[in-house]
A = this chain, B = another copy of it.
Amino acid sequence: MAQTPDISNDLATDIWVRLSRAHMKVQASIEAALKAAGLPSLAWYDALRELERFGPEGGRAFEVQARLLLPQYGLSRLLGKLEKAGYLVRKNCAEDGRGKRLVITDQGKRVRRKMWRVYRAALKRAVGDKLPENDGPLLLALLERLK
């Protein structure tokens, strides 16, 4: 009488499903917290963080892209918005006429800091508080394997 003939649920599938749910859940919490605080989205945070790493000389878009996992056009447009918001300036690049040098503004730094407080608190609620004791490092190690 056919015991779930084709929709079989093996372990890998279960892990994938829970991984998805966990990811969605955490992401939703963070985004909701940011929105509730009237702050920009996670994507903006990530970009600002990378920009801030560059320091005052700034850096190039393709460097950010490598660390951010966004498609090239996605980053290009995100940078456009950040610039329009006044969080970033794109100056022509001296050593490479094709590229721009990306420099975060003071305003950009300020908003990133604000976001970090909210972000961190949300993360604590959605992750830290849910993992008792020393299960954190264990989960970290296991996730690392899926890399």
Contacts and interface: CB of A to CB of B under 8 A. Distances in A.
A143 B19 contact: yes
Copies of this protein, total = 2
B146 A12 contact: no
Interface residues of A, number: 48
A66 interface: no
Interface of A: 6-8, 10-16, 18-27, 30, 49, 52, 69, 112-113, 116, 120, 123-124, 126-128, 130-132, 135-140, 142-147
A18 B126 CA distance: 15
Nearest to A23: B23
A14 B144 CA distance: 10
Given A14-B140, A128-B12, A135 B146 contact: no
Contacts of A116: 6-7
A145 B140 contact: no
Contacts of A131: 15, 142, 145-146
A140 B15 contact: yes
Given A16-B30, A25-B147, A139-B143, 18 more contacts: A6-B112, A7-B116, A10-B120, A11-B137, A12-B120, A12-B128, A13-B120, A13-B123, A15-B131, A15-B139, A15-B140, A16-B26, A18-B147, A19-B26, A24-B69, A135-B142, A138-B142, A139-B139
